[in-house]
Amino acid sequence: MHEFDIIKKYFSKLSLNNKNSLSLNDDVFFDKSNKLVISVDTYVDKSHFFNFENPDLIIKKILRSSISDLICKGVKPKYYFISGSGNKKTFKKSNLKKISQALKQEQKKFGIHISGGDTVFSNKLSFTIISIGFSSNIVFRNKAKFNDDIYVTGSLGDSYMGLQILKKKLFLKKDLKKYFLKKYYLPELHSSLTKKLFNFANTSIDISDGLFADLDKLINRQKLSYKIFISNIPISKNLKKIILLKKLKKVNFVSKGDDYQILFTASKKKSRIIKRTFNSLGIKISKIGNISSGAQKSQIIDEKGNKIAIKNRGHFHSF
């Protein structure tokens, strides 16, 4: 059973009297009257991260994944809590030192503050991170409009390539290896964009599960569909190079998740202000498709103009 199904079937009805929970169908909790925005995520070893030999990098990755939920909604993160479950080995002194140092660096980089947490003993390593921000508004899910353009920031797929290297499924030269591993461990978040999203985005989400999976989630309560052109999906020069060199398929890299880029839709009228905004911030932006009516199914169009089916639409945590 998908985690989405579990939440939908057993817990959504509990939140009927609490409109702030967005019926448990958004990435954040938003209490407008208290201007409170909260994201809660649990990260489990082997499922959400690998190789705790680099605890500093893992901690940075999952902390960024958590605050990304706020940033993509137009909210500046302010506080975070971290609750770790692990054993003597994972929480040995040298690891704790590295984790502490990593958190210190992230605090400075993103202007966030540790606010509490918990450490408990478990042979299974996991972390729950809670990120908190204050805002009188957020960019919601399920607010796409018919004919909206679909945009994505940055490049997709680099993180997944990093994961393949980490899992030793692919071997690259040292500099390329370093490039992709960095993309895997240290997603670049677009903090400078945060408040500006309200100027043009109708709806938004960050890409954690995979482009198509997150597009599905973005409009899951709307009678709309999307049309995406594979050729318009932005990938890095390095990824392009490897795909050519190893005769891989672009489509197999762009919806694997862990990108933490921002996916949003906007009216066509906003295209000029979007261009201007991203130019001035120095952030790459790509128009990858548009929102269509719900009368048709969502379409993914390959480089030759053919409709294609994607089997694995992204990463789900299945039970």
Q: b or e along 257-267 (b: 16 or more beta carbons within 10 Å of the residue's beta carbon)? A: bbbbbbbbbbe
244-263 residues near a second copy, rule: CB under 8 A: none
26-85 residues near a second copy, rule: CB under 8 A: 28-29, 31, 34-36, 38, 40-44, 47-48, 79, 81, 83, 85
Cβ closest to a second copy, residue 104 vs residue 275: 104
Q: Of these, 54, 65, 68, 126, which contacts a second copy (CB under 8 A)?
A: 126
Size of the site for a second copy (CB under 8 A): 63
> What count of Cα atoms within 13 Å lies in the side-chain half-sphere of residue 234?
17
For tokens 């082997």, what's the residue?
A: 46
Output the six-digit token pair for 1: 């059973």
**Phi (first) and psi of residue 116, to 5 degrees:** 150, -170
Q: How far is the CB of 292 from a second copy (least distance, A)?
A: 30
| Cα separation, 315 vs 255, whole angstroms | 9
Q: Helix, strand, or coil here: 277?
A: helix
Helices (H), the chain: 3-6, 55-71, 93-110, 158-166, 174-185, 211-218, 237-245, 271-281
Q: Of these, 113, 167, 275, 297, which contacts a second copy (CB under 8 A)?
A: 113
Give the DSSP H/E element, type plus range, for residue 4.
helix 3-6
| Cα separation, 128 vs 85, whole angstroms | 9
Cβ closest to a second copy, residue 27 vs residue 158: 27
Q: Of these, 114, 281, 283, 301, which contacts a second copy (CB under 8 A)?
A: 114
Output the six-digit token pair for 238: 């390095």
Q: How far is the CB of 171 from a second copy (least distance, A)?
A: 29
Q: Of these, 57, 70, 99, 166, which contacts a second copy (CB under 8 A)?
A: 99
Question: Is residue 178 within 8 Å of 301, Cβ to Cβ?
Answer: no
CB atoms within 10 A of CB 226: 22
134-193 residues near a second copy, rule: CB under 8 A: 134
Cβ closest to a second copy, residue 103 vs residue 197: 103
**Using rule CB under 8 A, residue 221 touches a second copy:** no
Q: Helix, strand, or coil here: 131?
A: strand
List, in order, residues 6 or more apart from 68 with CB less than 8 Å away: 187, 189, 206, 208, 260
Cβ closest to a second copy, residue 69 vs residue 148: 69
7-36 residues near a second copy, rule: CB under 8 A: 7, 9-11, 13-15, 17-18, 20-21, 24, 28-29, 31, 34-36
Q: Of these, 32, 51, 109, 116, which contacts a second copy (CB under 8 A)?
A: 116
Q: How far is the CB of 26 from a second copy (least distance, A)?
A: 8
Question: Is residue 165 within 8 Å of 239, Cβ to Cβ?
Answer: no
Cβ closest to a second copy, residue 96 vs residue 251: 96
Q: Which residues bind a second copy (CB under 8 A)?
A: 1, 3, 6-7, 9-11, 13-15, 17-18, 20-21, 24, 28-29, 31, 34-36, 38, 40-44, 47-48, 79, 81, 83, 85, 87-88, 91, 96-97, 99-100, 103-104, 107, 113-124, 126, 128, 130, 132, 134, 317-319
